[in-house]
Structure 1
Amino acid sequence: MYTALNLSTSDDFNMSEFDSQRPQELSHHSVKISIIIVLGVVVTLGNIAVLLAITSSVSGWSRNSRYFLLSLTAADSAFGLLVMPLNLWVSLLKDYTEGPDALCHVVAFCNATVYSTCMYTLATISLERYIAVFYPLQYSSLLTRKRTLFLIAFAWCFPPILLSPISLPDGIIQVHFSSASLVCNPSYSTNVGYSLSLTCVIFFPCSVIMTFANLKVWCAAKRQRLKLRKYDSARRSRLNVPSRVLVPVMGAYYICWTPCMAAMIYNAVTGSSVPEWIEFVVVWLPTSNGFLNCIFYFWINRSFRKKFYLVLQKLALALCPELASTFVCCTTSKMQFASGILDNNNSVHGRSSSVSSTCTLLSVA
């Protein structure tokens, strides 16, 4: 009788503790879903804006560069259009007490494939820029259109082949749904060799290629900048373009991807998981790299911004002809004023004043 009473009291205590923790878990769940939705919207809108401009010709960008950047934009767009909706769908429909199923295996396969494709694409872009800087005369022969498309096809086709065991429900890779990160993840602790081989085949080779290529390009640009300073004192006030582009690109890559890889290796080696919110951050942090790529690879580029303004002008003309004239004039005024400063043209003030007067007249009309 005493034992039964004791067990009953213990059960009641556990149930009351579970009931007290349930509202907190629900609040955490809603906060995580809100963060994922906001991140997905930002990544999607940013890459849609990039696609609008890059699908048309951008001055100063070669054909091969456009192909690689289109591949990167497509891979980053997959974060917001494929990875996030699938994981949100599973997190809303799946009961946490249920075991792994075929749907969770498919979602985990899509997650790993998109992440790997993004890393391979970043590595191919770094390789293309390295060849363009150090072998400019042999660029056309080294990176032909066929080889460029082959590298892009490799970045998109090799990850699904390498990660195909994750998609098999009865395969060697076990998959579970994590309530901490709201993601279907492979159980790396039960497949240590496979998880370590993934990092050795995907993360470390891509990191080595990106670090080597960008570091060499940065050093070459720095040497060239120092030489220009000796012959032209006006160059001293010029912005440090390599530090403004290459350093943020590499910094964002390592900040977004290294914690995720470290957590995966830690889980595989020790068999234990990291704390809840740390796991959520490190799992979804690589997704933010899809938005940072839009800033570092595109918005810093003057030719891209100019092309994007032209695309907005066309959209404004098509959607709202009444307001488009004012937008077109004001945008043209900014572009002409900026180009005049760069060209050191003395007639900029007169042209900008004329355009501003025309904008004022159109606005009044």
Structure 2
Amino acid sequence: MHITLNLSGPYGANLSDTDPERLRELSHRSVKVSIIIVLGAMITLGNVAVLLVITSSVAGWSRNSRYFLLSLTAADSAFGLLVMPLNLWVSLLKDYTEGPDALCHVVAFCNATVYSTCMYTLATISLERYIAVFYPLQYSTLMTRKRTLLLIAFAWCFPPFLLSPISFPDGIIEVHFSTASLVCNPSYSTNVAYSLSLTCLIFFPCSIVMTYANLRVWCAAKRQTLKLRKYSCARRSRPNVASRVLVPVMAAYFTCWTPCMATMIYNAISGSSVPEWVEFVVVWLPTSNGFLNCIFYFWINRNFRRKFNLILQRLALSLCPKLADTLGCSYPSTAQFTSGFLDNNNSVHERSSSVSSTCTLLTLA
């Protein structure tokens, strides 16, 4: 008995049950699409929750800190709201042919820009915290509002300028749609020099800044913790918050980004590709950093969790007051508004607030 499956789209038509290779390809593709959708939903929901909190004041977070964290949230949200929908739409609806494809060039440009912006933003956050810890008296002079916004603008504007050759169909970089990773990938092997220069201008500088700044802050926090344990027996049971925050941040960064960069360099130099599932994992692994950032930069902070609970309580009261009355909920009292959870951080001196947000490495229990 012969059964013919008529399927339209980039994966062809007239597939029969006697073609196991094509059926296996379709099965793998459905699994990959499911993974991408779940990951995109996690990233989007996590960053929406973060956005609800940091758009208002959080105790111990300065105005500059909120600017940088808003930039990071926007960059991470772009993974779920821009990168994933664009690549899924291209993979599901467009029928690919050989030769330059203007749409795929645009999608590849968006992918590379979001990835690069995220790395630059992480580097600027590390730099701001380094200045707050080691130059607290000069913080207000070094990290003015104008300089903060310039750093954020650089993180968002320099990557599009640097990656603009990818967007031109007839440019120096060829772009193809990869059925292995379901992504419009630049063919870096066609221009090895440009590929290596991208790595040297994006990944390595950001990694060096993050590693140096976070390592110095971690060492300072470690020394401070040892002093507290030496002179105060009551603090002997205090957990090492520096290790709980900085170590996971750096571990997640290098775990998510290093395989992708190493694969790009390997493809550019060798001219060959890695196995199918290896390519899928290393291409989409950096997007998971957008979800992990929500945990390490935000949810581990006790003030953030308290503010989020208060926001949820106020939303529940406004949307469903009868249910809130049934559950015994009430609006936050005046004491709560003045206790620091709902206060306006701008009334606190900028330098002191920034130092406070950074030194949660030492004081957060």
Aligned AA for 1:212? Y
Aligned AA for 2:53? A
* Corresponding residue SS for 2:184: strand
CA offsets 1:228-260 (integer angstroms, 9 cap, x no match): 111111111111110000000000000000000
* Corresponding residue SS for 1:181: coil
Mapped to 2, the partners of 1:33 and 1:289 lie a distance apart of: 19
CA offsets 1:111-156 (integer angstroms, 9 cap, x no match): 0000000000000000000000001111000000000000000000
* Offset at residue 324 of structure 1 (A): 2.2
Aligned pairs for 1:30-41 (under 5 A) are 30-41=30-41
Structure 1 equivalent of residue 116 of structure 2: 116
Instruction: Confirm or deny: 8 A CA contact 1:96 1:179 kept in the other structure.
Output: no
- As a proportion of its length, which structure holds more helix? 1
Structure 1 equivalent of residue 231 of structure 2: 231
Structure 2 equivalent of residue 244 of structure 1: 244
Structure 2 equivalent of residue 347 of structure 1: none
Aligned pairs for 1:31-110 (under 5 A) are 31-110=31-110
* Corresponding residue SS for 1:184: strand
Aligned pairs for 1:1-365 (under 5 A) are 19-325=19-325, 329=329
* Corresponding residue SS for 1:237: coil
Mapped to 1, the partners of 2:330 and 2:238 lie a distance apart of: 27
Mapped to 1, the partners of 2:16 and 2:140 lie a distance apart of: 71
Q: Which runs of 5+ in 2 are unaligned?
A: 1-14, 340-365
Percent identity of paired positions between Structure 1 and Structure 2: 83
Tell me the TM-score normalised to structure 2 length. 0.85
* Offset at residue 97 of structure 1 (A): 4.8
Q: Which runs of 5+ in 1 are unaligned?
A: 1-14, 340-365
- Structure 1 stretch 93-102 or stretch 221-230: which is displaced more? 93-102
Tell me the TM-score normalised to structure 1 length. 0.85
Q: How many residues align?
A: 322
Mapped to 1, the partners of 2:16 and 2:35 lie a distance apart of: 30
* Corresponding residue SS for 2:161: helix
* Offset at residue 327 of structure 1 (A): 5.7
* Shift in alpha-carbon separation, 1:310–1:328, aligned structure 2, 3 A: farther
Mapped to 2, the partners of 1:44 and 1:145 lie a distance apart of: 28
Aligned AA for 1:41? A
Mapped to 2, the partners of 1:84 and 1:201 lie a distance apart of: 25
* Offset at residue 292 of structure 1 (A): 0.1
Mapped to 2, the partners of 1:26 and 1:260 lie a distance apart of: 25
* Offset at residue 95 of structure 1 (A): 2.9
* Corresponding residue SS for 1:112: helix
* Corresponding residue SS for 1:185: strand
* Corresponding residue SS for 1:186: strand
CA RMSD in angstroms, aligned pairs only: 2.1
* Offset at residue 320 of structure 1 (A): 1.1
Instruction: Confirm or deny: 8 A CA contact 2:324 2:330 kept in the other structure.
Output: no
* Shift in alpha-carbon separation, 1:161–1:24, aligned structure 2, 3 A: same
Structure 2 equivalent of residue 342 of structure 1: none
* Corresponding residue SS for 1:57: coil
* Offset at residue 310 of structure 1 (A): 1.0
Instruction: Confirm or deny: 8 A CA contact 1:222 1:242 kept in the other structure.
Output: yes
Aligned AA for 1:87? N
Larger radius of gyration: 1
* Shift in alpha-carbon separation, 1:327–1:93, aligned structure 2, 3 A: same
Structure 1 equivalent of residue 360 of structure 2: none
- Structure 1 stretch 232-241 or stretch 204-213: which is displaced more? 232-241
Aligned AA for 2:240? N
Structure 2 equivalent of residue 363 of structure 1: none
**Higher RCO (Cα < 8 Å, 6 or more apart):** 2
Mapped to 2, the partners of 1:278 and 1:229 lie a distance apart of: 46
* Offset at residue 17 of structure 1 (A): 11
* Offset at residue 317 of structure 1 (A): 1.1
Mapped to 2, the partners of 1:31 and 1:57 lie a distance apart of: 41
Mapped to 2, the partners of 1:196 and 1:185 lie a distance apart of: 16
Aligned AA for 2:129? R
